[in-house]
Amino acid sequence: MALDLQDMADFLKQTPPFDALDNARFDYALDHAEAVYVNQHNRDEILREGHPTLYVVRSGTYDLNDKHGKFIERLETGDVFGFPALLSGRAITNQIEVLADGILFCWDAATFAYLRRYSEPFERYFMQAQERRLLVEHRGEDSTPDWTERDIGSVISRPLISIGSDTSIQQAAISMSENKVSSLLVVDEGQLRGIITDRDIRNRVVAKGMDYGVAVTAVMTQMPEAVYTRQSLFDALTMMNQANIHHLPVLDDEERPVGMITTTDLMKQQRSEPVFLMNALFKAQSREALVEEAQNIPHYLRTFATRVKDIGMVGRLLASLTDGMTRKLIRLYEHEHGAAPVAYAWMAFGSQAREDQTLSSDQDNGLLLADGIKEGQREYFHKLAEFVCTGLADCGIRLCPGDVMAMNPKWNKTSLEWQQQIKKWVQSPTPDAIMHSMIFFDSRMIAGNQQLYRRHRDAIGKIAQRDIFLGNIGRHIGELNVPLGLFNRLRTKSEKGGDYIDIKTQGVAVINDIVRLYSLIEGLTMPATPARLQALQSHNLLTAKDNQNLLEAWQFLTQLRLSHQLKLQGDSTEPVNSIDPETLSTLQRRQLKAAFSVIKDAQQGVGFKVGRGL
């Protein structure tokens, strides 16, 4: 197709490694360039065996896959590909999937060789790129992944040991002894019914003087938490910590039990991992001991981040650690002051609830109390809240500047009082009401009565489904500032002597707001943004492409923000949530622009779907 040489020249002068060519080599590259229009129909002609070619994406979006169809990378404007075959002489086996039609600039092998020979920066660029590619391939094929990323199924080494629900307690104890295990799954007709542990027998049978001939159904934990073989060990670790349990049934995709995983199994995988920190936090016998152990958290997180491929796991780990510290503080208080006088639920809001905490996150929490509580009983919970919130602050989780904490009476209410508060926010959706409701609707129970919390969460979800309330949230979202101006340029603001972009407020939070709104509309109650997007796949508010784009933008921005924070020292003068775009690589800047473009498109979508009425 015909070339617009001026357009090509302007484009290549901004595209590595062509921006490093001297004038003579740059003109040579222009003279020997070709342009091809690519769509789904002619894609197979682009990467064809026997014709190694260097490509630069001028427009369009493509997925580069290997010969087995496995995803390698996404190619967008300015990305370079095709060079591994040119450098190695290997046959072309990769394929491209066209997500959006566009134009590729191309150079044949002779031109590529000439530019390498006469331009050292050009040559160095591709040698370094090839080293990175080979490193990725080596890691993907040969190296052992971080233990937390391993599939649970890969560490289940012994066959399933189970009993039926009609088995007596004595026979269960005999089975444990014979098989040298500390727990058994209770299974009927291939379906998990419950779990019984040696602790259950000790505390619920022996200590109570119960007849050993009674069936295990009298003392087992019914419908216990479980994980699937395809999930990661990190998922198992997180669930154990959140539920304060040490044994997890493992199921296959057909919900059939296949085994058990324990904290001991996790410890065997790697003896210098965060599981030891979690265990130390759990075993702390006093507030002072807990605070001392918590001082190790930043070091553990930085070490953990250097070994995992998905740095977003750091946010989940920190949330899990905060959950554990919260539960430990509650138990310490209950040990000293006695059991709670009425049923309650300690709720986490915001980033802890969504499990995307960072090192700069502060506390957002509240208490849900059973209706009918007597005024004199409230004092117990006010003191509990103060003990836990100040304890978390001493452990490094800062007090909330906006006072959204359980020790504030406004965030310490009965179920009926909470519902009345939500109704006020819904009926009078002022900016402050919208802000507080958004915090509240990202909630997760950390400790207490699960049934009380679930009933309450379902009730307030229904209260929120009023068009005028949802419409006001939609308008609020449409007014949020996304730092992308004319001609797709990033807009910065002066902060602490530099020019920065607030990744949290102008990026991550906006996506959270959009996804939360759609979840409220559909009555979804899970708090985590990725989980919400997954659940929204079965609804019609987002196309599959828009859903995936929002997820990828959220993942990129959260990882960028976390990476920035992990690099900062404790006394750094740089803002913790803002980034100077000039410090980013060319690729990262393109990805940042793409992420903000996705957010702006999603904002417009909210306006169409909600602003005009549902």
Asked whether residue 266 is assigned to any structural domain, the reply reads no
Residue 384 has pLDDT above 90, yes or no: yes
Q: Are residues 449 and 386 in the same domain?
A: yes
Q: So what's the pLDDT on residue 146? A: 58
How far apart CA 596 and CA 602 sit, in angstroms, is 10
pLDDT of residue 271: 45
Task: Say if 298 falls within a structural domain.
Answer: yes
pLDDT at 49: 58
Question: If we measure between CA atoms, which residue out of 504, 555, 514, 505 comes closest to residue 536?
Answer: 514
Q: Give the pLDDT of residue 346.
A: 97
Do the Cβ atoms of 456 and 593 come closer than 8 Å?
no
The residue among 404, 432, 463 that closes a domain is 463
Residue 44 lies in a domain: yes
CA angle 30, 32, 33 (to 5 degrees): 65
- What is the average pLDDT across 196-215? 93
221 and 239 housed in the same domain: yes
pLDDT bin (cut points 50, 70, 90) of residue 551 is very high
- The pLDDT value recorded for residue 607 is 85
Domain ends where: 141, 176, 191? Answer: 141
Residues 487 and 388 in one domain: no
- Counting the structural domains of the chain, the total is 4
pLDDT of 138 > 70? The answer is no
Inter-CA distances, 478 with 465, 511, 542, 552, Å: 19, 12, 17, 21
Residue span of the structural domain in which 135 resides: 5-141
pLDDT at 524 over 50: yes
Q: What is the mean pLDDT of residues 30-35?
A: 92
> Does residue 399 share a domain with residue 482?
no
Q: Torsion over CA of 227, 228, 230 and 234, rounded to 10 degrees?
A: 10
> Which pLDDT band, with edges at 50, 70 and 90, does 400 fall under?
very high
- Tens of pLDDT, residue by residue over 3-23, are 678 888 988 988 889 988 999
Average pLDDT for residues 180-209, to the nearest whole number? 92
Question: Which of 102, 123, 141 delimits the end of a domain?
Answer: 141
CATH code, 445 = 3.30.460.10
Residues 363 and 433 in one domain: yes
pLDDT tier, 274 (very low <50, low <70, confident <90, very high otherwise): low
Q: Among 149-158, 430-439, 462-471, where is mean pLDDT lowest?
A: 149-158
User: In this structure, are 227 and 336 located in the same domain?
Assistant: no
Residue 449 and residue 545 share a domain: no
* pLDDT averaged over every residue in the chain: 86
Provide the 3-class DSSP secondary structure of residue 480.
coil
3-state helix, strand, coil in the chain (%, to 5): 55, 15, 30
Here the CATH number for the domain that contains residue 206 is 3.10.580.10
Name the least confident of 326-335, 428-437, 448-457, 539-548: 428-437
Residue 540 predicted with pLDDT over 70: yes
Evaluate if residue 327 carries a pLDDT over 80. yes
Under the banding of pLDDT at 50, 70 and 90, the label for residue 442 is: very high
Do 168 and 254 lie in a common domain?
Answer: yes
Q: Residue 131 above 60 pLDDT?
A: no
Identify the CATH number of the domain in which residue 593 sits: 1.20.120
Q: How confident is the model at residue 275 (pLDDT cuts 50, 70, 90)?
A: low
Residue 286 is predicted with a pLDDT of 93
User: What was the pLDDT predicted at 143?
Assistant: 42
Q: Specify whether 31 is located in the same domain as 136.
A: yes
Instruction: Say whether both 470 and 441 belong to one domain.
Output: no
Q: Which amino acid is at 160?
A: L
267 within a domain of the structure (yes/no)? no
Cα–Cα distance, 97 to 69 (Å, whole number)? 9
Percent of the chain exceeding pLDDT 70 equals 91
Residues 96 and 197 in one domain: no
554 pLDDT above the threshold of 60? yes
Asked if 292 and 189 sit in the same domain, the reply is: no
Whether 121 is covered by a domain: the verdict is yes
